[in-house]
A and B are shown apart, each in its own frame.
Chain A
């Protein structure tokens, strides 16, 4: 039986808006096993990104529990959750969010430098080679294409070998061909590192490559298919 790496029980989340309180998540439950890939799909505005933020510990639910590797993160404070993020998770954003003033190599090396890795630049270089971007090591994000930026972002997310990778619509800003390259790279890395992966996506093809697909509708998560 596979180990459960992430467990979310009865998650509720609402936000305040000008028109009053809006309930986004109304009792979401999810379990993700080790080395499993999960896609969360749903219409725009259904709360997919919000759910991902909660699962990654970027925000806290109003109600419910979230456990990562047996540790409940929903009762931790900001700094404790930051440590969980540093040690156990990786995140890939829709808009890449590389640091403009760092080169590709430095962006990839950033988490390694921050968390005391012994040879950050060497490790980062190895990752760039793996991603086929060694020729772009000294280029700044503005000098990279969208796909190259996203691959650097992938490298950054994988650099510390996280147990779970969260990706929020990683191909939304990419063209079809580039998106395919990035997805191929993502799943290759997922396969080699044997970490769990939770994706939010509109892309059905991407969702179909995952082990499990869940559909978020009306604030509830439904298992769509395997």
Chain B
């Protein structure tokens, strides 16, 4: 037995001689698990994985939902748009390997003839399977002439039938059962379109709508090859198939085309999707920076705790490489475990976060597979390489005797690894964003942010601490301490400054994100537009508005006129080139008048007409499109009379405010001889919403010839997306604040482990004085961090916002003051907690000597 025991010991010692690293690894692993600083570092890795996982999952889910919502507005996730028709089934290549189907629509600005005569409308010819992933809401008269609502597809639209929207019905004086002439062909009006899924992204969405079958388009004799059509091919397949279609387009399409997707193409929502992607990328970068700062802080502290044991091991004869390798393997294992656990917890928390933060948005749940933790693992690995490895190497380079003499002057020398990590993060960002410009802009912004926050932080702390020479007592000690401990304070200051910057930027984005055009137009024009209000009904209309607590938002007189000639030449001859404007000018236009230049216009040439001699002011784009100039003579036919005028000024319509735009405007009283109709907007209070239908019904009943357009419904759809984005940003703000709070806790732990407080207490400083010192110190650090953040936001955000979001960054003084006060208060409370933590420990010399 004894012999065996000796043999085993011999084998073990031989083993340990030959493989010291394994023994070291085991010893260091056990030791690390017991060390609070190490536990904190591992917790830091876990929190980083969790926070980045949360942001990643949430953003991906919301982005998917957002893209799906926007795809509904487009009609499909992928739309190919051309101005000339492509051959039938062009997407089915010769071998038909793609095995997909598409929906086709063709839209034109065209003139049709109804009972009231010729009128320009938006004609849309659709294939049978339109719409692709939604339905058309149609109002059809039943056999008893009672209108009923149906959800249909174009399959229900028969040959030679047409569906019209209400505006087309009214403008053309038609009802169901009547006929409408489109080109050479007559169509039966068989239904009224109440809802068309992809209307908002069509160029002619403001015109009255007539919908026919695609197969009937040829029979109309419309010149579909004049390059003015909008031919759209809608695809809704699996993402891989869609990618394949998109990549095959250059070989399948022999003419210019445009791709319309949620985040691409000339439609109103692509900007929203692009902004959302950029914003999420920006936030991800900020979160990574915060996690990196926290990790740097903790790594520094954890490695300092490691110096003595590492030195003892070196004294015992172990090589530096062995020790470093053991620690790196250990940390790598923890990085893997933390990234898997953190990402998994984040994945599990998706429904909770989504439900809490955005209950109205159906967020798609991401799938968790072996690839999911890769990003967080990469980030954790980069944190270790950037912040831990250089310190480990530096520990190895400190002379043993210096350490034993308690001279722990560890110089961090390996900037290369930190730089390599930073470059890797940039590459990761480029890979996942797939957008070089965005990567460059974000990287530049972040670098400048870091330089600013560290630089400004250092400058301001140096300036602040010079004041110590002018102060006395506790304040002097505190100010001096802040300035003399830049390393201790810079990391939390930089992190808080970054958080404040991130908070201010995201909060500004939140308030600017709402499409100013849509919302300000609600403010200007109200949520219900009306037109064709006869002058004799103006007074009863005003009474109705007043009795129902509505607000009249603009009232514009209009006279319907048809342009007959330009400079004596009949319009048909004068306008020899074709365009949508020229098509529309062939039907009646609305003339209006005003005493002054309307607010949503800007005078470009000439001056505002004051009387009949001053002629007419024409909108600039219309003038360019029709080839008109100042001084041109125009003859309009109003009712049966001719009205002659000349162009005296050119003005520009400014989008982004009121939607009311008139091509031709006169001075007041010029058109007095003609009986005007009125158009404008009404605002219904949101609180009245449940009663809106009653009000609308009453309006329609009392003023049957007036046409009402529910703008609110239109804007609601857009607002829903905007609201979702705002809520995403709220969620991100919440996560950002949690991250900042985590960093505060980390710095508290790190900061509470110095002997400074104990020494001061042994010198006779009372608890109250110590609390005051802590509170003052933390308050100053919080204040300075906040000021740096606000300054950084002001300097950097202007650039970032213009480049990424095309919106200006406006500093909000009230918000800045609020942030400063709240941050400073948080740090003060934090200082109190630190004090409490420190002061509950007794001052024991033994503990001090062994610490």
Contact flags A42-70 to B (C-beta < 8 A → 1, else 0): 00000001101100101100000000000
User: Which of B234-242, B294-302, B419-427, B480-488 has 4 or more CB atoms under 8 Å from chain A?
Assistant: B480-488
- Bound-state CA distance A102–B406 (Å) is 17
Kindly list chain A residues whose C-beta atoms are within 8 Å of the C-beta of B846: 49-50, 53
Kindly list chain B residues whose C-beta atoms are within 8 Å of the C-beta of A114: 473-474, 477, 760, 763-765, 769
Check B767 against A78 for contact (C-beta < 8 Å): yes
Check B761 against A82 for contact (C-beta < 8 Å): yes
Does A106 touch B at the CB level, under 8 Å? yes
Check B768 against A52 for contact (C-beta < 8 Å): no
Check A142 against B407 for contact (C-beta < 8 Å): yes
Nearest B residue (CB) for A50: B846
Residues of B796-851 contacting chain A, CB below 8 A: 839, 842-846, 848-849
Chain B min CB distance to A51 (Å): 10
Nearest A residue (CB) for B474: A114
Check B472 against A113 for contact (C-beta < 8 Å): yes
Check A82 against B409 for contact (C-beta < 8 Å): no
Kindly list chain A residues whose C-beta atoms are within 8 Å of the C-beta of B485: 101
Residues of A61-113 contacting chain B, CB below 8 A: 78-79, 82-87, 89, 91, 93-95, 97, 99, 101-102, 106, 110-111, 113
Chain B min CB distance to A40 (Å): 13
Check B473 against A113 for contact (C-beta < 8 Å): yes
Check A86 against B755 for contact (C-beta < 8 Å): no
Does B476 touch A at the CB level, under 8 Å? yes
Check A142 against B409 for contact (C-beta < 8 Å): yes
Kindly list chain A residues whose C-beta atoms are within 8 Å of the C-beta of B755: 97
Check B762 against A91 for contact (C-beta < 8 Å): yes
Nearest B residue (CB) for A85: B764
Does B766 touch A at the CB level, under 8 Å? yes
Contact flags B400-418 to A (C-beta < 8 A → 1, else 0): 0000011101000000000
Chain B min CB distance to A195 (Å): 15
Chain A min CB distance to B794 (Å): 32
Does A168 touch B at the CB level, under 8 Å? yes
- Bound-state CA distance A134–B849 (Å) is 28
Chain A min CB distance to B381 (Å): 33
Kindly list chain B residues whose C-beta atoms are within 8 Å of the C-beta of A115: 764
Check B765 against A53 for contact (C-beta < 8 Å): no
Chain A min CB distance to B405 (Å): 8
Check B845 against A85 for contact (C-beta < 8 Å): no
Check A49 against B849 for contact (C-beta < 8 Å): yes
When A102-B480, A106-B480, A110-B477 are in contact, do A53 and B763 touch as well, CB less than 8 Å?
Answer: no
Nearest A residue (CB) for B484: A101
Check A53 against B845 for contact (C-beta < 8 Å): yes
Kindly list chain B residues whose C-beta atoms are within 8 Å of the C-beta of A20: none
- Bound-state CA distance A79–B839 (Å) is 11
- Bound-state CA distance A194–B480 (Å) is 34
Contact flags B663-686 to A (C-beta < 8 A → 1, else 0): 000000000000000000000000
Check B768 against A79 for contact (C-beta < 8 Å): yes
Does B256 touch A at the CB level, under 8 Å? no
Kindly list chain A residues whose C-beta atoms are within 8 Å of the C-beta of B407: 142
Check A59 against B756 for contact (C-beta < 8 Å): no
Kindly list chain A residues whose C-beta atoms are within 8 Å of the C-beta of B474: 114
Nearest B residue (CB) for A160: B764
Does B759 touch A at the CB level, under 8 Å? yes
Residues of A165-200 contacting chain B, CB below 8 A: 168
Check B767 against A79 for contact (C-beta < 8 Å): yes
Check B766 against A58 for contact (C-beta < 8 Å): no
When A114-B473, A142-B409 are in contact, do A49 and B845 touch as well, CB less than 8 Å?
Answer: yes
Nearest A residue (CB) for B756: A99
Check A94 against B849 for contact (C-beta < 8 Å): yes
Kindly list chain B residues whose C-beta atoms are within 8 Å of the C-beta of A156: 763
When A85-B762, A114-B474 are in contact, do A101 and B481 touch as well, CB less than 8 Å?
Answer: yes
For the A-B complex with A59-B843, A93-B848 known, give 7 more contacts whose Cβ atoms are closer than 8 Å: A56-B762, A97-B848, A101-B481, A101-B484, A102-B484, A114-B474, A146-B405
9 residue pairs from A and B, CB less than 8 Å apart: A53-B843, A58-B842, A58-B844, A78-B767, A113-B477, A114-B477, A114-B763, A116-B473, A146-B405
Q: Which residues of B contact A (CB under 8 A)?
A: 405-407, 409, 472-474, 476-477, 480-481, 484-485, 755-756, 759-769, 839, 842-846, 848-849
Among all A-B residue pairs, the 4 with the closest Cβ atoms:
A86-B764, A101-B484, A85-B764, A79-B766
